[in-house]
């Protein structure tokens, strides 16, 4: 099971587990061991030293065998601690789930009650409960359980509130399930890991608290031994006969340490975010480990040139070649489309430009990104930081997840400006209003104080664009900015981007999976498949006569309005997994023109008509090639 494997990877937790298992086994088999009776006094042999004639650990002030008392005491303390934890967790979780699930007045009444309990200092409350019930181990257990109930109730209520409003609970309700069933089948399974985590991290305390009450004489009553009462009885002989205190004290230390180490390990192993490594903080720039020196920069007028870019994900012993040698160049004021199926490496290409691919697991293993006369791959973080959002800006697919929910859009625009250009707030705010106007948001003066959730999807994407424009960048990389929007809003956003490009001379890299968008906006287009460019060239030429079978098949999947009913030819099969790329053409598996030669060796990207290139050994012939490019294509 992966839980045990994860736990075993945590050395300290494993040590805790081993120690705890040993202690628990010892406690379980204590009655079977050949030990002296723990409660039989023998005052003639009092305060015998350990390792002497009277037993391994010596005797206490009444001459009772310390080893026997220690094991019996441990048994009792563990039992009481675990029982208290179990009771507190069960009652606390039940209270928390009911409060969180029903909400409203029920929640209010219950949680105010819990708050009242929490208002008392912990140990004082336990003392008061024991004082009311009378001393005794059972009452100590009740007191310890009672003071821990609020902790569980609060935690579990919080988790339940977030679960009770989720869609799958609504779906269960719509399917006619009753509250009790929803709580048991939908809510509880989601809450149990939290309960287990809370328990594993609190059992240690509860054992300590029980021991504390016993130490004060409110828990186990003489002659019964538990770890706390043993300590309490040994207190008067602390200086003269320290071994009587050290023995139970060391045991408490060992147990609580082991439980806490184990509890931390359990928490980490149960947290799904830790499992996927999400909490391992990504580095500020993508890791670069180039195996070959970067290619020389091409001497042309491109603002941004990507050459031979290779980005991989190294996940344990697997290597995912998400981008396998991509060449692109972007001229000032040009719009370059990158098109391809989902998973073809478009986003990873775009993020690699500014070193934004998360590392680990991302690694750039080759290539060059030439911008502003320098190679950005492997550039120092400070250089990239200054360019990000200032000279190269991104627009992402879902602005709801990229905008901060608790700040107004104005505050976020101001922040975007001031991150790069320290301007007075008032000035930055005026600039932000201007930006909102530039992206055609009506009533920019009042809209600037809206929160992201108060705007529609199209508005939010306009804010995303405004933010990208904030510092007048030279290049905007738009990663499927219209995919989440409906067609009318998409059309507005596209024409907005087109206008902005013409007004401001922006160069745009536009990532999409929609040929309609490419046709409307892009000058040139690059088609990606399995991390490589399979065809590139002027958008109009490729759209009228695709050369690569993949491009042709992709276009055949696009329904045509007014074209009458026609069979949409979905491409059979799936793109190859990027950790097991086949030799030769990655598309061969799904291509109806594939030949034996397609599956051998590397297939290069070759020139194919004016300004076009294609990665195929049998492309569709280029239409009416101009005479001077024939020789180029034949190379």
Binding site for Mg ion (CB under 5 A): 347
* CA dihedral sign of residues 445, 448, 454, 456: positive
Report in angstroms how near the CB of residue 397 gets to Mg ion at its nearest: 7
Q: Which is nearer to ligand ADP, 452 or 576 (CB)?
A: 576
Residue 345 touches which of ligand ADP, Mg ion, none (Cβ within 5-8 Å per kind)? ligand ADP
User: Should residue 315 be labelled a site residue for ligand ADP when binding is judged by CB under 6 A?
Assistant: yes
11 sits in which H/E element: helix 11-29
Contacts of 14 (CB under 8 A, 6+ apart): 7, 8, 265
Nearer to ligand ADP, 100 or 340 (CB): 340
Q: Does 481 bind ligand ADP (CB under 6 A)?
A: no
Give kind and range of the element (H or E) at residue 418: helix 409-418
Q: CB of 197 within 8 A of CB of 270? A: yes
Residues in CB range of 67: below 8 A, 6 or more apart: 35, 36, 55, 56, 57
Minimum distance of Mg ion from residue 507's CB (angstroms): 20
Q: Which two tokens stand for residue 539?
A: 């958008």
Selected range binding ligand ADP among 315-323, 372-380, 452-460, 548-556, rule: CB under 6 A: 315-323
Residue 439 CA to residue 448 CA, distance in Å, equals 12
Q: Does 534 bind ligand ADP (CB under 6 A)?
A: no
Q: Does 529 bind ligand ADP (CB under 6 A)?
A: no
Distance separating alpha carbons of residues 505 and 615, to the nearest angstrom: 31
CB of 468 to Mg ion, least distance (A): 17
Give ∠ CA 59-63-67 in degrees, rounded to 5.
35
Report the alpha-carbon distance of residue 450 to residue 458 in Å, rounded. 14
Tell the smallest beta-carbon distance from residue 343 to ligand ADP (Å).
4
Residue 476 CB, nearest distance to ligand ADP (Å)?
17
Read off the tokens for 586: 């990655």
Smallest separation (angstroms) from ligand ADP to the CB of 349 = 7
Comparing CB distances to ligand ADP, the nearer of 320 and 371 is 320
**Where on the phi/psi map is residue 443: left (φ > 0), alpha (ψ -120 to 50), or beta?**
left
User: What minimum distance in Å lies between the beta carbon of 537 and ligand ADP?
Assistant: 20
With CB under 6 A as the contact rule, the residue among 10, 68, 344, 397 that binds ligand ADP is: 344
Nearer to ligand ADP, 313 or 550 (CB): 313
355 is a contact residue toward ligand ADP (CB under 6 A):
no
- What's the rounded Cα separation, in Å, for the pair 267 and 16? 13
CA distance 574 to 25: 54
Q: Which does 152 bind (CB under 5 to 8 A by kind): ligand ADP, Mg ion, none?
A: none
Q: Which does 205 bind (CB under 5 to 8 A by kind): Mg ion, ligand ADP, none?
A: none
Nearer to Mg ion, 248 or 343 (CB): 343
Interface with ligand ADP, residue 322, by CB under 6 A? yes
Spatial distance between the Cα atoms of 391 and 616, rounded to a whole number of angstroms: 36
238 and 245 in contact (C-beta within 8 Å)?
Answer: yes
Query: Helix or strand or coil: residue 109?
Result: helix
Q: Which is nearer to Mg ion, 46 or 346 (CB)?
A: 346
Q: Which is nearer to ligand ADP, 241 or 512 (CB)?
A: 512
Going by the DSSP 8-state scheme, the letter that residue 481 receives in this structure is: T
263 binds ligand ADP (CB under 6 A): no
The single residue among 260, 347, 370, 613 that binds ligand ADP, judged by CB under 6 A, is 347
Among 81, 345, 410, 546, binds ligand ADP (CB under 6 A): 345
Between 243 and 548, whose beta carbon lies closer to ligand ADP? 548
How many chain residues interact with ligand ADP (CB under 6 A)? 14
Q: With CB under 6 A as the contact rule, which of the stretches 290-298, 312-320, 596-604, 624-632 interacts with ligand ADP?
A: 312-320
Smallest distance, Å, CB 589 to ligand ADP? 16
Compute CA distances 635 → 379, 559, 607, whole Å: 35, 36, 8
Q: How far is CA 112 from CA 119, 143, 154, 198, in A?
A: 10, 20, 11, 21
Residue 321 CB, nearest distance to ligand ADP (Å)? 8
Note whether 397 binds ligand ADP by CB under 6 A: no
CB hemisphere CA count around 622 (13 angstroms): 25
Q: At what angle do helices 104-119 and 66-102 cross, to 10 degrees?
A: 150
Q: Does 279 bind ligand ADP (CB under 6 A)?
A: no
Between the two ends of the chain, the Cα-to-Cα distance in Å is 56
CB 495 within 8 A of CB 508: no
For 601, counting Cβ atoms within 10 Å of its Cβ (0-12 exposed, 13-18 middle, 19+ buried), the class is exposed
**Dihedral angle, C-alpha 136, 139, 141, 142, nearest 10 °:** 180
Q: Is 286 a binder of ligand ADP (CB under 6 A)?
A: no
Does 210 bind ligand ADP (CB under 6 A)? Our answer is no
Residue 324 contacts ligand ADP per CB under 6 A:
no
Beta-strand pair 524-529/374-375: unpaired
Q: x/- contact string, 356-375, with ligand ADP (CB under 6 A)? A: -----x--------------
Lay out the site mask for ligand ADP across 548-587 (x = CB under 6 A, - = otherwise).
Answer: ------------------------------x---------
Among 43, 342, 374, 495, binds ligand ADP (CB under 6 A): 342
Taking a C-beta distance cutoff of 8 angstroms, is the pair 244, 60 a contact?
Answer: yes
Neighbours of 3 (CB within 10 A): 12
Which CB sits closer to Mg ion, 81 or 575?
Answer: 575
Selection from 391, 255, 371, 217 nearest residue 306 by Cα: 371
Q: How far is the CB of 369 from ligand ADP (least distance, A)?
A: 16
532 binds ligand ADP (CB under 6 A): no
Residue of the chain from 46, 346, 391, 612 that contacts ligand ADP (CB under 6 A): 346
Which residues of the chain form contacts with ligand ADP (CB under 6 A)? 313, 315, 320, 322, 340, 342-348, 361, 578
């Amino acid at each position: 099971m992966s839980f045990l494997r994860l736990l075993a990877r945590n050395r300290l937790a494993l040590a805790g587990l081993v120690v705890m298992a040993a202690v628990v086994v010892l406690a379980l088999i204590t009655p079977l061991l050949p030990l002296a009776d723990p409660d039989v006094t023998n005052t003639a042999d009092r305060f015998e030293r350990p390792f002497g004639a009277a037993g391994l650990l010596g005797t206490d002030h009444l001459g009772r065998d310390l080893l026997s008392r220690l094991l019996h005491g441990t048994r009792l303390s563990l039992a009481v601690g675990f029982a208290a934890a179990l009771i507190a967790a069960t009652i606390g979780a039940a209270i928390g789930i009911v409060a969180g699930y029903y909400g409203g007045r029920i929640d209010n009444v219950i949680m105010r009650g819990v708050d009242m309990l929490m208002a008392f200092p912990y140990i004082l409350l336990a003392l008061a409960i024991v004082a009311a019930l009378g001393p005794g181990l059972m009452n100590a257990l009740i007191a310890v359980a009672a003071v821990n109930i609020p902790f569980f109730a609060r935690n579990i209520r919080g988790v339940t509130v977030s679960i009770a409003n989720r869609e799958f609970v609504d779906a269960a309700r719509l399917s006619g399930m009753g509250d009790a069933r929803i709580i048991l089948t939908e809510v509880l399974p989601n809450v149990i890991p939290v309960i287990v985590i809370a328990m594993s991290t609190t059992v240690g305390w509860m054992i300590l608290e029980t021991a504390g009450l016993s130490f004060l004489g409110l828990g186990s009553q003489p002659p019964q031994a538990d770890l706390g009462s043993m300590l309490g009885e040994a207190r008067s002989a602390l200086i003269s006969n320290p071994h009587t205190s050290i023995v139970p004290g060391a045991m408490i230390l060992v147990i609580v340490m082991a439980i806490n180490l184990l509890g931390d390990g359990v928490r980490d192993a149960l947290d799904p975010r830790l499992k996927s490594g999400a909490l391992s903080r990504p580095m500020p720039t993508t890791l670069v480990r180039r195996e070959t020196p970067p290619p020389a920069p091409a001497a042309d007028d491109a603002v941004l040139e990507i050459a031979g870019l290779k980005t991989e994900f190294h996940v344990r012993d697997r290597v995912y070649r998400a981008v396998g040698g991509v060449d692109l160049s972007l001229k000032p004021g040009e719009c370059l489309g990158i098109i391809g199926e989902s998973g073809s490496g478009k986003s990873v290409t775009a993020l690699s430009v500014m070193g934004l691919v998360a590392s680990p697991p991302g690694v750039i293993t080759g290539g060059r990104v030439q911008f502003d006369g320098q190679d950005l791959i492997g550039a120092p973080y400070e250089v990239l930081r200054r360019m990000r959002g200032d000279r190269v800006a991104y627009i992402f697919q879902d602005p709801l997840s990229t905008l901060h929910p608790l700040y107004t859009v104005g505050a976020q625009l101001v922040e975007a400006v001031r991150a790069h250009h320290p301007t007075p707030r008032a000035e930055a705010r005026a600039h932000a209003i201007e930006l909102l106007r530039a992206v055609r948001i009506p009533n920019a003066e009042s809209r600037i104080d809206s929160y992201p959730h108060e705007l529609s999807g199209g508005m939010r994407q306009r804010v995303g664009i405004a933010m990208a424009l904030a510092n007048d960048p030279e290049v905007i990389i738009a990663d499927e900015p219209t995919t989440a929007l409906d067609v009318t809003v998409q059309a507005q956003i596209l024409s907005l981007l087109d206008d902005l490009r013409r007004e401001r001379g922006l160069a745009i890299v536009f990532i999409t999976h929609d040929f309609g968008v490419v046709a409307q906006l892009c000058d040139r287009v690059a088609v990606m498949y399995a991390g490589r460019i399979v065809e590139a060239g002027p958008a109009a030429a490729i759209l009228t006569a695709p050369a690569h079978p993949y491009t042709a098949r992709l276009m055949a999947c696009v329904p045509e309005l007014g074209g009458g009913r026609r069979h949409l030819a979905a491409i059979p099969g799936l793109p190859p997994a990027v950790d097991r790329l086949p030799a030769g053409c990655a598309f061969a598996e799904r291509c109806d023109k594939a030949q034996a030669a397609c599956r051998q060796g590397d297939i290069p990207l070759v020139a194919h008509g004016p300004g076009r290139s294609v990665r195929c050994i049998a492309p569709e012939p280029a239409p009416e090639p101009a005479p001077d490019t024939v020789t180029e294509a034949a190379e």
